[in-house]
Amino acid sequence: MDEINFFPDDLEIKDQKIILRLDLNVPIKDKIIKDDTRITLCLPFINRLIKKKAKIIIISHLGRPKGVNVPDLSLIPIYKYLKDALKTNVYFFRGNFDGETKEKFSHLKGGEVILIENIRFFKEETEDSQDFSKKLGELGDIYVNDAFSCSHRKQASVHSITKFVKKSYAGPLLKKEITAINFVIKNKKEPVTCIIGGSKISTKINVITNLLKKVNNIIIVGAMANNFFVHKNFKVGKSLIEKNTKEVITNIYKKAEEHNCKILIPEDCMVGTDFEGTGKNKNLDEIKENEIILDIGFNTIKKIQKKINESNTVLWNGPAGYFENENFSTGTISIAKIISQNTLEKSLISVLGGGDTLSAINKSNIKLTFSHLSTAGGAFLEYLEGKDLPGISVLK
């Protein structure tokens, strides 16, 4: 972590043009922001830069417009939000990047902000174009990447731009993300328990394999656990499973034994005949052909709670069931509550990541406390895998 060039608090930035890459990719429906979490997290640092009289140029994306100007993916709602939230002049740039772009930004005074329209409206962004990166880089004196969630992508505004700016730094949000994940995989306080959920084992196989070497317990929940049931010759009815996972799971158990890591899977579950109805609690040997496993069962919840109580660090990625139907959200909410309680009462280090995990927690409307909530999805998982993320490697 020491290798990364973090933004220094004492840097003199008055009248310096700072290119600030943020992740303002928030859910917007009918031009109304539905969840402003990602924006509010960025405001303290923007305000610090304003106070220091820097000239701030914000770059962000929204959705995946694939190099086309899609009106529904415009940053105008975010521009209006920032205009209300920041006590300074905020401008919006909707032009192209050409030889005169620098002049178009020349009116910016110290302490003012300009937001550039969705950077993914330019196909050169996702192509990591050197020419486009140069045009972006020439706009500023200093580049700050505060978008950890985009740092696993080789894209112009997070990767090649650093070649064309005098100084490049990682911002405070990025630092917070890396510090939190490092508490699980590097500077860990044992015992460490990881709860891995979601639907596909294929998307998380590398994460699980990497974590096996570094943690004490891995608890498998969600539809991913169905593959482990099949591996142990239990019938899972109409439940979601992936093909050809036998060898993968055999390998997981083998490596877990080598590294003295315990793998825990549910021993009972909530089943329904469809996703919209109610559920019944059943043991694994009682599931009928027309039933779908949609949550973990009561005994499993108790078992997980006990394991969390015995842990000093918990990492959680992926819900325990089909939380969209509250009849199948009990497992996820129970896990969230016990992690929160231990974080408050026993100084448990708790790191939660993944969009679905956060959605499930937000949907519950219960006041919960965790050491760190990560808004990153792919970057969070790839960093857990031990990968050197392109957007971070260029800041070293």
Given 149, 172, 195, the domain boundary residue is 172
Contacts (Cβ under 8 Å, ≥6 apart) of 71: none
Residue 2's pLDDT is: 56
* Average pLDDT for 209-229: 95
Distance CA 262, CA 217 (A): 5
Confidence of residue 12 (pLDDT cuts 50, 70, 90): very high
In this structure, are residues 161 and 19 in contact, taking their beta carbons and an 8 Å threshold?
yes
In this predicted structure, the answer to whether residue 276 has a pLDDT above a threshold of 70 is yes
Statement to judge: residues 198 and 164 lie in one domain: no
| Segments forming the whole domain that contains residue 212 | 180-384
The two beta strands, 55-59 and 17-21, are parallel
Is 120 a member of any domain? Answer: yes
Total domains in the chain come to 2
Tokens for 132, please give them.
């486009």
Active-site annotation holds for 200: yes
Is 2 a member of any domain? Answer: no
* Average pLDDT for 198-211: 87
Burial label for 286, CB within 10 Å (0-12, 13-18, 19+), is: middle
Tokens for 344, please give them.
């408050």
Residue 60's pLDDT is: 98
E runs forming strands in 17-176: 17-21, 28-29, 32-33, 55-59, 90-93, 113-116, 142-145, 167-170
Q: What percent of the chain has pLDDT over 70?
A: 99
Statement to judge: residues 166 and 188 lie in one domain: no
Is 216 a member of any domain? Answer: yes
The two beta strands, 28-29 and 90-93, are unpaired
Residue 1's pLDDT is: 46
Find, among 311, 331, 313, 305, the residue nearest to 221 by Cα: 331
Distance CA 176, CA 179 (A): 5
CA-based end-to-end distance of the chain: 9
Is 12 a member of any domain? Answer: no
Residue 326's pLDDT is: 93
Find, among 57, 75, 52, the residue nearest to 19 by Cα: 57
The neighbouring-strand residues paired with 272 are: 292
Place of tokens 């306080």: 189
Is 395 a member of any domain? Answer: no
Is 201 a member of any domain? Answer: yes
Q: Say which CATH number the domain at 99 has.
A: 3.40.50.1260
* Residue type for position 288: K
Of residues 200, 235, 262, 363, which has the active-site annotation?
A: 200
Is 394 a member of any domain? Answer: no
Given 172, 200, 228, the domain boundary residue is 172
Active-site annotation holds for 154: no
Residue 355's φ and ψ, nearest 5 degrees, are: -60, -45
* Residue 387, number of CB atoms within 10 A of its CB: 15
Given 3-state DSSP classes, what are the helix, strand and coil percentages for the chain, each rounded to the nearest 5? 40, 20, 45
Confidence of residue 269 (pLDDT cuts 50, 70, 90): very high
What b/e readout covers 288-318, taking b as 16+ CB neighbours within 10 angstroms?
Answer: eeebbbbbbbeebbebbbebbeebbbbbbbb
In this predicted structure, the answer to whether residue 148 has a pLDDT above a threshold of 70 is yes
Is 164 a member of any domain? Answer: yes
In this predicted structure, the answer to whether residue 8 has a pLDDT above a threshold of 80 is yes
Distance CA 336, CA 317 (A): 11
Statement to judge: residues 241 and 354 lie in one domain: yes
Given 148, 172, 196, the domain boundary residue is 172
Name the 3-class secondary structure at 34: coil
Statement to judge: residues 87 and 188 lie in one domain: no
Statement to judge: residues 25 and 131 lie in one domain: yes
Tokens for 247, please give them.
């060898």
Of residues 104, 378, 386, 387, which has the active-site annotation?
A: 378
The two beta strands, 17-21 and 28-29, are unpaired
Statement to judge: residues 148 and 198 lie in one domain: no
Name the 3-class secondary structure at 315: strand
Angle, CA of 280, 284 and 287, to the nearest 5°? 55
Give, in order, the Cα–Cα distances in Å from 194 to each of 267, 316, 348: 18, 6, 13
Of residues 38, 55, 120, 204, which has the active-site annotation?
A: 38
Q: Which residue has the higher pLDDT, 77 or 358?
A: 77
As a three-state string, the secondary structure of 144-198 is: EECCHHHCCCCCCCCCHHHHHCCEEEECHHHHHHHHHHHHHHCCCCCCEEEEECC
- Write out pLDDT tens, residues 288-332: 999 999 999 999 999 999 999 999 999 999 999 999 999 999 999
* Residue type for position 107: H
Statement to judge: residues 342 and 291 lie in one domain: yes
- Write out pLDDT tens, residues 69-100: 999 999 999 999 999 999 999 999 999 998 77
Average pLDDT over the chain reads: 94
The two beta strands, 90-93 and 217-220, are unpaired
Statement to judge: residues 220 and 95 lie in one domain: no
Statement to judge: residues 204 and 349 lie in one domain: yes
Statement to judge: residues 212 and 113 lie in one domain: no
Statement to judge: residues 197 and 259 lie in one domain: yes
Predicted TM-score (pTM) of the model is 0.86
Statement to judge: residues 226 and 347 lie in one domain: yes
- Write out pLDDT tens, residues 15-68: 999 999 999 999 999 999 988 989 999 999 999 999 999 999 999 999 999 999
Of residues 110, 237, 355, 377, which has the active-site annotation?
A: 355
Confidence of residue 352 (pLDDT cuts 50, 70, 90): very high
